[in-house]
Amino acid sequence: MTNWSVILGIAKTHLLTKIKQTSIAALGVTFGIGSYITLVCFMTGLNAMLDNLILNQTPHIHVYNEIEPSKNQPISLYNDVAESFNVVHSIKPKRSQKKIHNALPIISYLEENKDVRGALPQVKTQIFYIAGSIELGGNLTGINPVSEARLFNMSDYIVEGSAEALEHTDNSILLGIGIAKKMSLKVGDRVQVSPINGGIFPLKIVGFYQSGIADLDAIQSFTNIKTVQRILGEANNYITDINIKLYDIERAVPLAKKIEQQFKLTAIDIKTANAQFETGTTIRNLITYAVSITLLIVAGFGIYNILNMLIYEKMNDIAILKATGFSGKDVQLIFMSQAMIIGFVGGVLGLLIGLGLTSLISTIPFQTEALPTVETYPINLNPMFFVIGFLFAIISTFLAGYLPSKKAKKIDPVKIIRGQ
């Protein structure tokens, strides 16, 4: 039978009379947990921001027609030389159409797949931006602006104007910010574009696009799919790319394979396209956790040290308690409860400090060309981090308290009393 009120009463008196030591031990936990929360929220916030930078704009599967040489050259059709060693020089790519055959039925077929959040058609083409006598090369992509904004966070990269304006205005263009600067254009102006096969089309600027990658912003512009089809003089089933967004990114690889087989198209999944990027994320996470765990372990040793000292100071008290009828277990519980109280108070304070610091960091301005929509440092306030931090405070103080309290349990009162 354990008499908790007596044990907690003794623990409380010990802690309160040594308030300085107690607070130092608790502060060790507080700083450990506080810096863990701050670090992990800040680092994962930055990581998520970097991930989104790539992942938000990138389709999970990109389907298009690859220009490539035929796998079977004519010579392989001749049975006469089948046994010979054939060498073909100067292989040229096969002439194939850029457009995806039967694109619209394929899109409606993909949309029915339960893994697919959306499949969006795009028309990509090279054009020239014409400013007086100067022609600037560039890319024009025809999109469904509102759907694009919904699935690929397009509106994060529109610094002026909106996706809706692009959708609803005929012959409009969302101009790359780099081109706009070069040509001193502003929203509402007209810009003339010319496709490779000739002709000049004036388009109305409804907004500017900034991806954060300067090279891209200097060539890339967006417009309505219909507008591009009109510029190219193609029918409304002329689609060059299909971008697919999935509910679960892990499904990208098998689905991409299936699409390639089923439609004889090239389908690149996000994992293949961004393999090096994922490695970077993994390593950054690894560093975050290594640093956090180090911090928490240091805090744990602090508690261990202070409890050890406390027990040496309290040898006499332990002997008296045991002589007057407290069992070894009672004595152990007294010191364990001291450790747990330190861990609990220090842990809760640490969570508060972590919350305070992260809130502070999230108000610090962070402006960069690369990220037009980010204004302050990103913080990932995941409740899971707080749960982990608190659990670690409790577990580490438990372990740090366990060894010294075990020693207190084993102290032989006779030795202490006779040793005086």
Tell me the CA distances in angstroms from 76 to 83, 90, 93, 95, 219, one per residue in order: 10, 16, 17, 19, 42
What x/- string results for residues 390 through 419 when contact with other proteins is judged by CB under 8 A? ----------------------xxx--xx-
Number of residues that bind other proteins (CB under 8 A): 29
Q: Which helix (H) or strand (E) holds 226?
A: helix 225-232
Nearest residue to 143 via CA among 221, 214, 196, 201: 221
Q: Closer to other proteins at the Cβ: 89 or 418? A: 418
Q: Closer to other proteins at the Cβ: 195 or 328? A: 328
Q: Closer to other proteins at the Cβ: 13 or 96? A: 13
Q: Closer to other proteins at the Cβ: 234 or 330? A: 330
Q: Which of residues 354-393 bind other proteins (CB under 8 A)?
A: none
Q: Taking CB under 8 A as the rule, does residue 13 contact other proteins?
A: yes
CB of 341 to other proteins, least distance (A): 16
| 11, 14, 148, 378: which one binds other proteins (CB under 8 A) | 14
Nearest residue to 306 via CA among 357, 343, 333, 262: 343
- In our burial notation (b when 16+ CB lie closer than 10 A, e otherwise), range 31-50 reads bbbbbbbbbbbbbbbbbbbb
What x/- string results for residues 312 through 351 when contact with other proteins is judged by CB under 8 A? ----xx-xxxxxxxxxxxx---------------------
Chain-centroid distance of CA 343 in Å reads 32
Q: Closer to other proteins at the Cβ: 39 or 339? A: 339
Query: Is-contact 323 417, C-beta < 8 A?
Result: yes
Q: Closer to other proteins at the Cβ: 280 or 328? A: 328
What are 403's two structure tokens? 């060894």
Q: Closer to other proteins at the Cβ: 283 or 417? A: 417
Question: Which 8-state DSSP code applies to residue 133?
Answer: T
What x/- string results for residues 257 through 296 when contact with other proteins is judged by CB under 8 A? ----------------------------------------
Q: Taking CB under 8 A as the rule, does residue 17 contact other proteins?
A: yes
CB under 8 A: which stretch of 34-42, 44-52, 246-254, 311-319 binds other proteins? 311-319
CA angle in degrees (0–180, nearest 5) for 324-325-331: 100
Q: Taking CB under 8 A as the rule, does residue 123 contact other proteins?
A: no
What are 231's two structure tokens? 């510029």
Residue 310: partners with Cβ closer than 8 Å, 6 or more residues away:
14, 18, 21, 335, 338, 404
- Residues binding other proteins (CB under 8 A): 1, 3, 5-6, 9-10, 13-14, 17, 316-317, 319-330, 412-414, 417-418, 420
